[in-house]
Amino acid sequence: MVRRVAVIGAGASGLASIKCCLDEGLEPTCFEQSEDIGGLWCYADTADCKRTSVYRSVITNTSKEMSCFSDFPFPDNFPNFLPHHRLLEYFRMYARHFGLLQHICFQTTVRSVRKRPDFSTSGQWDVVTESKTGWESHVFDAVMVCTGRYQEPLLPLASFPGLETRFRGRYLHSKEYRDTEGFQGKRVLVVGLGNSGGDVAVELSRAAAKVFVSARSSTWVVSRISSHGFPLDMVTRTRLIHFLEWLLPSAIMKRIRFGKFNSWFNHTNYGLASVQSRKFNVIINEELPFCLLSGTVVLKPAVKEFTESLAVFEDGTKENIDVVIFTTGYGFSFPFLEDSVRSLFQESCSLYKSIFPPQLEKPTLAIIGLIQLMGSVMVGAEMQARWVTSVFAGFNKLPPTSRMMADISRKKRQLAKGPPEQVNMRMGFVSYLDDIASCTGVKPNVPWLLLTDPRLGLAVAFGPCSPYQYRLRGRGRWSGARAAILTQWQRVLEPLRTRVLDDSPGGSTGSSWLRLLALLLLPPFLLS
């Protein structure tokens, strides 16, 4: 019987895991190597700190209603997209409200997690930690690893001949980037065009002499804002669209999606992507298209090599470069896990449901938050933690190892055959949440809701697939879930009501709400 649980990391995943342990009557102890909660979102002013931190100007890509913990909505007056300090403020509110801080050991680093000699029968772990007071050994019944996927910066230096041997300028990974200080008047090359690459390039364009972006694959650029001014994820992450994506052939969905991308601006004209692209990436950035139009950011192909002061590109063009910033992503590693355990999974898709190592004798180790979703990872991590703690507490069970291995093989085949944006472990938001919710017994029963509570049923079926939907039934049911779903659009508009205008001449309040409802129901067909 699991009772004592070690939670490693006090970021978003760790906080959710502590809360879920408490909900299931477990006894969590969280080890956090820094002096504060928030993980990645706890901004550090210097790149010298041991942990990864966001850069100063970062703003969330997913809206507050689609990113919150499922039983703790953001305050009404919080903006829809949040700077890092507002998200950290929300984490502090969550931790205080549910009494999580007393379960966290700050400035404590986990050095070793090893199976106990009797693991095959007990499932227990020896955990060794280091703090200011020295090293300490602990015994835990289960372990939840919540260190995330942004751990080890990937610097593919070997792929860029001349960078280390001839280039006299400076190069760094985006993990070291904080703001434009030190880049004024420089000619900067950003390698990689993901979300971070786009953000860094746009910000540097206001201070650097010139910014170049080198991209290998095609990139589609979308805005956080939908055609009618609502958060894009609230309009597109719906059960209706999820059903259409399942129903329609992938070629048709791809054509619809690319057509919508190009309705903002023609990506081929900008050198970003074409409808013929087989490998592509989708990033969120409202300012990049204007920077390309104004020439403050220049798009380039892949780099062939570096000389003393030049970057030579595959099309033969050359540019003088002072600084190279690699936005080439991160790898993950768990150096504290013993080799025999770490060897069981080298990637997220080797884990059952991206959580459990299937070959362990006892299911007492879970990896939380090691996922890439087409939506908020924070929401996915909370759903994982709810399922994991219900398994630890004995309310749910994992299938036999053979079934878990077969499921992993099937998912790998699906990812390999699926859209290119899914190959890198990027999974559908609604489909993944529903999958884990089914395992936990908390997936909403939409037909039943339509029969018994039509107003709520319509909101769940056609509105945003917000986290509150997974608190309507089952373990962890929250009495405020219904109200949270029915008032989510009010919370979207509330922070905008700083200057209210009368926009209903000759009309009634009822007709205004009908027009709003029409706007909310139509975009799913257009923005998928």
- Whole-prediction pTM: 0.92
Q: Residue 436 has which token pair?
A: 């884990």
In this predicted structure, what is the pLDDT of residue 379?
Answer: 97
Q: Which residues contact 395 (CB under 8 A, 6 or more apart)?
A: 24, 475
In this predicted structure, what is the pLDDT of residue 331?
Answer: 86
Q: Which residue has the higher pLDDT, 365 or 253?
A: 365
Alpha-carbon gap, residue 377 to 479, rounded angstroms: 24
Q: Per-residue DSSP letters for 449-474?
A: HHHH-HHHHHHHHHSB--GGGGGSSS
Q: Residue 153 has which token pair?
A: 């910066």
User: Nearest CA to 144 among 4, 350, 294, 344?
Assistant: 4
Q: Which amino acid is at 126?
A: D
Alpha-carbon gap, residue 443 to 436, rounded angstroms: 8
Give mean pLDDT, residues 91-98. Answer: 98
Q: Residue 369 has which token pair?
A: 């938050």
- The three-state secondary structure class of 246 is helix
pLDDT tens track for 421-463: 433 446 899 999 999 999 999 999 999 999 999 999 999 999 9
User: Nearest CA to 67 among 435, 429, 480, 498?
Assistant: 429
In this predicted structure, what is the pLDDT of residue 504?
Answer: 63
Alpha-carbon gap, residue 515 to 518, rounded angstroms: 5
SS (H, E, C) 335-361: CCECHHHHCCCCCHHHCECCCECCCCC
Burial 339-354 (b: 16+ CB within 10 A, else e): eebeebbeebbbbbbb
Give mean pLDDT, residues 296-305. Answer: 97
- Percent over 90 (pLDDT), the chain: 81
Q: Are strands 372-373 and 426-427 parallel, antiparallel or unpaired?
A: parallel
Q: Residue 311 has which token pair?
A: 């970057």
Return the half-sphere exposure (C-beta side, CA atoms, 13 A cut-off) of residue 244: 19
Q: How many CB atoms lie within 10 A of CB 145?
A: 25
Burial 34-60 (b: 16+ CB within 10 A, else e): beebbbbbbbeeeeeeebbbbbbebeb
In this predicted structure, what is the pLDDT of residue 509?
Answer: 46
Alpha-carbon gap, residue 226 to 80, rounded angstroms: 13
CATH topology of domain 153-329: FAD/NAD(P)-binding domain (3.50.50)
Alpha carbon dihedral 312, 316, 318, 321, in 10-degree steps, equals -30
All CATH 3.50.50.60 domain ranges of the chain, comma separated, are 4-151+331-431, 153-329
Q: Are strands 280-284 and 297-300 parallel, antiparallel or unpaired?
A: unpaired
pLDDT tens track for 369-395: 999 899 999 999 999 999 999 999 999
- Alpha carbon distance, N-terminus to C-terminus of the chain: 45
What's the count of helices (H) and strands (E) in the chain, helices before strands? 18, 22
Which range among 114-118, 426-430, 489-493 shows the weakest confidence by mean pLDDT?
426-430
CATH class entry, domain 4-151+331-431? alpha beta
Alpha-carbon gap, residue 169 to 151, rounded angstroms: 26
Q: Are strands 303-306 and 310-313 parallel, antiparallel or unpaired?
A: antiparallel
Contact predicate 57/45, CB 8 Å: no
Going by the DSSP 8-state scheme, the letter that residue 145 receives in this structure is: E
Contact predicate 81/124, CB 8 Å: no
